[in-house]
C-alpha cells in the first residue's frame, strides 16, 4: 500500500507558474500565451516557455512575447521533447502551483482561479478538466468531433466530460509543485503519455488526481490528414510502450484499436486467400475473412450517421476519413510500441 500523503495547505495569495513546451508552433503559441496573460486571477504569475529548436519563426515570436511582457520568460530546451521542456520549466518555477499549458490550447479566463480553488478545496496534487477540441475548417471540426465522442478516442472523461471526482488522469493539469518534486517530475524517456505516467506515480504515493468538468480548455486539432496520422501513430506507439511497462494499469479501451487493426489486417489477408481459392476452383471459404473489414467500415458509417449527421456535408465527409485515420494510426502505433519498437519509430513521427 502506498504511504498516504497529505499536502500542506496553500496560502493566498497563491503564486502560479505556467509551463509551456513549444517546438515549431508559430501558428498557435501567441494565442496560447494571450489566453494565459488574460486570466482572471489575482495572484502573482509567471509564464515559462520551454523553447525547443525551432525553424518556423517560433524563436522570434516567443522572444517578442517576452520583450512585451516581463511575466514571460523563455528557457532553452535543447532536447526539444515535451517532458524535457516541462521539467525545465518546473525546475525554474518560483511559485508553489504549476499550470501545464500546451501551445495548441487556449485557457478560458476563469481557468486558473477555478483550478487553484479546487486544488485548495480538495487537497489534490493535480487538478484538471476537459480537452475541449474545436476546429475551424471542416477537417478540423471533424477531428474535434472524433476527439469528443466515445467512438473516437475511447470516451475518457477528459475528452467527453463526466462528474467531478478522483481520476486516473486529466488533461494538462494544475499541480502542487511540491507534489511534482516528490515524485521526481516527468519521465523524460516517455515522449507521449507522460501525463498518464506521472499521474500514476502521484496516485501510487498517496496523492489525488482530481477531475472537474468546470475546467474546459480549448484545443486546436491537427489541420491535415498527414499531421493527424503522425500524431496518432506517435501517441499509439507510446501508449503501447506504457501498456507493456505497466500491464496492470491499463483499461480495456486501450486495446480496442490495436485489436481492430489486427482483426482487419488478418481478415483482409484471409479474404485475399479466398480470392485465390476461387481462382483455382477450390471452395472459397477464406472469403469469410472479408467480414472483418466490412464490419469495421459499417461501424465507421454508423458512427458518422450517429455523430456527424446534420453538421454539414464537409464535416460528415471528413469524419468518414478521420475516424479510420485515428483508429488505424493509433492502433498500429500501439502494436509497434507494445512490441518494443518505440525508440526505432517515434523519432520519425514528430513530437
All structural domains of the chain with their residue ranges: 16-222, 248-348
Tell whether the model's pLDDT for residue 161 goes beyond 50.
Answer: yes
Mean pLDDT of 195-204: 93
Whole-angstrom CA distances from 87 to 60, 100, 165 are: 23, 11, 27
* DSSP letter (8 states) at residue 287: G
Per-residue pLDDT averaged across 260-265, rounded?
A: 93
In this predicted structure, the answer to whether residue 344 has a pLDDT above a threshold of 80 is no
Tens of pLDDT, residues 78-122: 888 899 999 999 999 999 999 999 887 889 999 999 999 999 999
Asked if residue 329 lies in contact with residue 222, where contact means CB atoms within 8 angstroms, the answer is no
Give, rounded to a whole angstrom, the gap between the first and last alpha carbons of the chain: 36
Q: What angle do CA 116, 77, 34 make, to 5 degrees?
A: 45
Is a pLDDT exceeding 50 seen at residue 348? no
Write down the CATH number for the domain with range 16-222.
Answer: 3.90.550.10
Between 163 and 155, whose confidence is greater?
163
Minimum mean pLDDT among 36-45, 158-167, 301-310: which range? 158-167
Q: Which three cell numbers stand for residue 225?
A: 490528414
| pLDDT beyond 50 at 1 | no
pLDDT of amino acid 341: 62
Amino acid at each position: 500500500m502506498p504511504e498516504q500523503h497529505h499536502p500542506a495547505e496553500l496560502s493566498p495569495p497563491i503564486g502560479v507558474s505556467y509551463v509551456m513546451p513549444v517546438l515549431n508552433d508559430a501558428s498557435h503559441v501567441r494565442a496560447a500565451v494571450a489566453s494565459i496573460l488574460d486570466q482572471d486571477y489575482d495572484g502573482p504569475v509567471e509564464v515559462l516557455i520551454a523553447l525547443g529548436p525551432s525553424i518556423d519563426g517560433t524563436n522570434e515570436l516567443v522572444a517578442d512575447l517576452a520583450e512585451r511582457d516581463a511575466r514571460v520568460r523563455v528557457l532553452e530546451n535543447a532536447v526539444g521533447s515535451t517532458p524535457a521542456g516541462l521539467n525545465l520549466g518546473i525546475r525554474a518555477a518560483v511559485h508553489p502551483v504549476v499550470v501545464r499549458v500546451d501551445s495548441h490550447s487556449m485557457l478560458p479566463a476563469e481557468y486558473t482561479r477555478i483550478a487553484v480553488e479546487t486544488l485548495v478545496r480538495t487537497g489534490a496534487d493535480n487538478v484538471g478538466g476537459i480537452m475541449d477540441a474545436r476546429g475551424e475548417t471542416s477537417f478540423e471540426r471533424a477531428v474535434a468531433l472524433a476527439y469528443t465522442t466515445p467512438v473516437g478516442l475511447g470516451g475518457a472523461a477528459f475528452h467527453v466530460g463526466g462528474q467531478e471526482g478522483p481520476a486516473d488522469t486529466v488533461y494538462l493539469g494544475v499541480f502542487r509543485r511540491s507534489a511534482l518534486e516528490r515524485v521526481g517530475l516527468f519521465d523524460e524517456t516517455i515522449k507521449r503519455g507522460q501525463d498518464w505516467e506521472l499521474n500514476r506515480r502521484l496516485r501510487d504515493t498517496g496523492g489525488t488526481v482530481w477531475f472537474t468538468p468546470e475546467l474546459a480548455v480549448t484545443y486546436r486539432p491537427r489541420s491535415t490528414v498527414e499531421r493527424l496520422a503522425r500524431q496518432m501513430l506517435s501517441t499509439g506507439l507510446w501508449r503501447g510502450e506504457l501498456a507493456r511497462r505497466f500491464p496492470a494499469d491499463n483499461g480495456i479501451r486501450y486495446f480496442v484499436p490495436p485489436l481492430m487493426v489486427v482483426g482487419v489486417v488478418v481478415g483482409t489477408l484471409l479474404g485475399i486467400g479466398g480470392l485465390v481459392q476461387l481462382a483455382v476452383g477450390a471452395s472459397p471459404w477464406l472469403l469469410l475473412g472479408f467480414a472483418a473489414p466490412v464490419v469495421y467500415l459499417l461501424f465507421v458509417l454508423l458512427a458518422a450517421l450517429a455523430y456527424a449527421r446534420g453538421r454539414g456535408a464537409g464535416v460528415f465527409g471528413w469524419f468518414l476519413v478521420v475516424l479510420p485515420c485515428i483508429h488505424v494510426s493509433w492502433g498500429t502505433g500501439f502494436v509497434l510500441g507494445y512490441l518494443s519498437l518505440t525508440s526505432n519509430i517515434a523519432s520519425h513521427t514528430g513530437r
